[in-house]
């Protein structure tokens, strides 16, 4: 299958998660992605071990984010290496970096310099909080961006402390936005021949991610003290949605209930008490009370029991799975999300594929993340550097 | 400013969140996005009220996701209206839909039919779980996809029940993936003249979103029973990261601590007991114990006290803000994320802008979501339908 970005070359100066996640998607869609890495340590993510897990010399995390890429070693503090990079620049289409504001100018690879060398280049920058304003020097890190953005007050129940999302959500939505920005700028270039600078930041991205909650907050006349978002007392899953929206314990596990008619739900569950809440939007106004009625009832029977009853009445619900349970389901298996990636030094691991399908085809790439500098010599020869 | 997608036209048959979020981004980047909506009710999201909030006849949620678009009314169950749509198809570049598998064929707007009418069209489909396999008829809904995917076991502490992310994360990452898929397919079309079908689903997207956790899970030889992910007992923020990563209560609020040297942290906090954990990756292996030592210490002083000490030593940390606090900060204000959107019938609300910057410019669009069918007559005239 010919992939849509074949023929495009990306130089990835980005480290850690957000930029490399963008690079991974570009690579999965067909671009050639060359990581430019410093000697000895390389991308800092190589040594960011999660649960002490490594494959070869590098963390599993690094392998996850950097498969299907090449590695070119360069010391950007050495003017000779910077010259090599500058000779490479006219031959690439995109560069990405996440140096802190100010650093890239010192290295001589800022947009003004680089766009004189290659006016058609798409120059993509990631920062924590943009390149101006009082936060510009703050470390651009996922948990801190979550914490500053208000996000940690959206999950969990009313009396819980702030609960961060247990995944690098700011990094990932930011990387994803960068892919969009790069592709849009490439489309414009195909039409006009112009390069572009595109900027994304963790904070702007995680605020956009909360556009639903923030817009509700900013327009809530009913609440002059603006104390939103308010999580429900139990089974909270969304601060702005009414009962029954949430996850409830059952006799042997849990069940997730989406929004739907309280009347229908009350009939299907055989829970007459719940029907009282169906009028006048009481399902939002009295959601704590409604949810507590539901919770008391659901805990008396198994998950399977309730799902059978609710699915028969087409009420939207589901089981709540752990990874162990998930990977054993036929549904998960039929998605064929897993693939094995390998490298010439015989390392091998299992990871997930690109989530996009093209003309009905799933996209697989068997190539594991590169050894630091593994492609330096070949790239120098190929581009006559 | 000339936006990168100017000149492109998108027909949005998608409803609710994932597809319309994609359409919003395409519109913000310059595309013309026309919602095709059924009579009377329109996009189901118009009546999906969160916290009973409406502006005009529509929910605040609908307004948030559908600003900067046009609305064309058509009854896809009426063959005459389907013919009108078919006359429009040769004149557009992209269509998106999230009909359940099978429905679009019945409407006569499946890929095979549509691509014969316009072979250059990019046809983008969203489903809950793909178009085959045992889950294909499951309702494609955010909380249910979260619950099935294992995601709800990533947030919160060890003994907590499953905790969903308090935002429509599956919808949003799925919509974001669809934007990428559409733009990549458009790039290919500029080169080859070919249209394409692209598919995304809530489940594949929310699994990709967990690629870090899933890859760790799938390669964890140290844990033969594969009981990962394990959240820490307190201050859990990431199942695979060691101490101190998390949010801790202080005397007057909270503080978020990113990963970093335990030795440095112990010095800056004046907490000698913590230094014992610095060797041999004990910060992961003994993270519950290390975190409890940190928690006991941090609660004795204010957030400001600790942030001053840690920032002086360049340890990455931050305050933990609510929306009330966030919107009062100079940092937030300087990002200029808010904009007011209005409509000819004088409705007006405040929402957030596109998180991508182009050539240093923030992107604002003042146009609120359309009244149902507001552009039908004009579009019929314009395209001679």
For A142-153, the pLDDT digits (tens) are 999 999 999 999
Residue A300 burial (10 A CB sphere; 0-12, 13-18, 19+): exposed
Identify the pLDDT of residue B96. Answer: 98
- pLDDT tens across B88-130, in order? 999 999 999 999 878 999 999 999 999 999 999 999 999 999 9
Chain A residues whose CB is inside 8 A of the B241 CB are 50
A 218-277 residues inside an 8 A Cβ radius of B: 218-220, 222, 226-229, 231, 236-242, 245-247, 249, 254, 256-259
- Region A205-232 average pLDDT: 86
Query: Smallest CA–CA separation between B118 and chain A, in Å?
Result: 15
Tokens of A142: 């996922």
pLDDT digits (tens, 9 = 90+) for A41-70: 999 999 988 777 889 999 999 999 999 999
Which helix (H) or strand (E) segment holds residue B323: the answer is helix B323-326
Q: Determine phi and psi for B36, rounding to 5 degrees.
A: -100, 115
What is the per-residue pLDDT across A339-353, written as a single tens digit (0 to 9) for each?
A: 999 999 999 999 999
Please give the residue that has the higher pLDDT: either A38 or A279.
A38
Answer whether B127's CB lies under 8 Å from B188's CB. Answer: no
A361 DSSP assignment: B
Which pair of structure tokens corresponds to residue B219?
């390669």
Task: Judge contact between B249 and B236, C-beta under 8 A.
Answer: no
Q: pLDDT of A286-317, one tens digit each?
A: 889 999 999 999 999 999 999 999 999 999 99
pLDDT of residue B283: 63
Can you list the alpha helix ranges (DSSP code H) found in A29-133? 60-66, 79-88, 103-107, 111-117
For A20: left if phi > 0, alpha if psi spans -120 to 50, otherwise beta; the answer is alpha
Place of tokens 């059924």: B38
Longest C-alpha distance within chain A, in Å?
78
Q: Do β-strands A254-257 and A246-249 pair in parallel, antiparallel, or remain unpaired?
A: antiparallel
**B171 a catalytic residue:** yes
Which residues touch A6 (CB under 8 Å, ≥6 apart)? Answer: A30, A31
> Could you report the per-residue pLDDT of B223-248, keeping only the tens digit for each?
666 667 889 999 999 988 889 999 99
What's the topology of domain B246-326? formyl-coa transferase, domain 3 (3.30.1540)
Which of B112, B75, B68, B115 has the alpha carbon at shortest distance from B94? Answer: B115
Among A254, A290, A259, A126, which Cα is nearest to A198's?
Answer: A126
Which DSSP category does B177 fall into?
A: H
The whole-number average pLDDT for the span A99-107 is 89
Closest chain B CA to residue A245: B143
Confidence bin at A279 (pLDDT 50/70/90): low
A268: which 2 tokens? Answer: 């299907």
| B152 interface with A at CB cutoff 8 Å | yes
Residues B364-369 have a mean pLDDT of 98
Is there a contact between A161 and B198 if contact means CB atoms under 8 Å apart? Answer: no
Half-sphere exposure of A136 (CA within 13 A, CB side): 10
Please give the pLDDT value at position B281: 60
Q: How buried is residue B378: exposed, middle or buried, by Cβ count under 10 Å (0-12/13-18/19+)? A: exposed
Interface of A with B in 326-345 (CB under 8 A): 326-327, 329-331, 334-335, 337-338
CATH 3.40.50.10540 boundaries in chain B:
9-208+337-382
pLDDT of residue B372: 98
Average pLDDT over residues B188-217: 97
- Among A286-290, B125-129, B151-155, B172-176, the range scoring the smallest mean pLDDT is A286-290
What's the CATH number for B9-208+337-382?
3.40.50.10540
Q: Which of A171, A220, A286, A345 is catalytic?
A: A171
Rounded mean pLDDT of chain B?
Answer: 94
- Tell me, what's the pLDDT at A229? 83
For CATH 3.30.1540.10, list the domain ranges present in chain A.
Answer: 246-326
Split at pLDDT 50, 70, 90, the class of B142 is very high
Q: Where are the beta strands (DSSP E) in B104-177?
A: 122-127
Return the residue matching tokens 């890190």. Answer: A141
Q: Structure pTM?
A: 0.97
Q: Tell me: the pLDDT tens digits for A236-271? A: 999 888 899 999 999 999 999 999 889 999 999 999
């Amino acid at each position: 299958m010919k992939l849509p970005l074949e023929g495009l070359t990306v130089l990835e100066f980005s480290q850690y998660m957000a930029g490399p996640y963008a690079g991974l998607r570009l690579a999965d869609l067909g671009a050639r992605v060359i990581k430019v890495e410093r000697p000895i340590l390389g991308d800092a993510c190589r040594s960011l071990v999660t649960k002490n897990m490594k494959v070869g010399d590098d963390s599993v995390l690094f392998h996850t984010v950097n498969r299907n890429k090449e590695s070119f070693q360069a010391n950007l503090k050495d003017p000779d290496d910077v010259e090599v990079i500058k000779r490479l620049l006219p031959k690439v289409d995109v560069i990405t970096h996440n140096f802190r504001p100010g650093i890239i100018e010192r290295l001589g690879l800022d947009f003004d310099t680089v766009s004189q060398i290659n006016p058609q280049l798409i120059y993509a920058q990631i920062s924590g909080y943009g390149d101006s304003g009082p936060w510009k020097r703050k470390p651009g890190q996922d948990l801190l961006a979550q914490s500053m953005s208000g996000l940690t007050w959206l999950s969990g129940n009313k009396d819980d402390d702030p609960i961060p999302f247990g995944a690098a959500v700011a990094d990932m939505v930011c990387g994803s936005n960068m892919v969009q920005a790069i592709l849009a700028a490439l489309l414009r270039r195909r039409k006009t021949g112009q390069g572009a600078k595109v900027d994304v930041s963790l904070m702007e991205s995680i605020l956009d991610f909360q556009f639903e909650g923030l817009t509700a907050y900013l327009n809530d006349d009913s609440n002059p003290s603006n104390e939103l978002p308010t999580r429900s007392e139990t089974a909270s899953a969304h601060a702005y949605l009414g009962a029954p929206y949430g996850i409830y314990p059952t006799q042997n596990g849990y069940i997730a209930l989406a929004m739907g008619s309280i009347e229908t739900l009350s009939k299907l569950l055989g829970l007459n008490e719940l029907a009282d809440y169906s009028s006048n939007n009481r399902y939002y106004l009295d959601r704590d009370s409604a949810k507590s009625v539901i919770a008391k009832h659901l805990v008396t029977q198994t998950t399977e029991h309730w799902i059978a009853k609710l699915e028969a009445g087409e009420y939207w619900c589901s089981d709540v799975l752990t990874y162990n349970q998930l990977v054993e389901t036929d549904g998960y298996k039929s998605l064929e999300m897993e693939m094995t990636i390998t490298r010439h030094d015989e390392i091998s691991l299992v990871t997930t594929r690109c989530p996009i399908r093209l003309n009905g085809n799933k996209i697989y790439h068997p190539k594991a993340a590169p050894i630091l500098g593994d492609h330096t010599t070949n790239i120098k020869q190929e581009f006559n550097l």
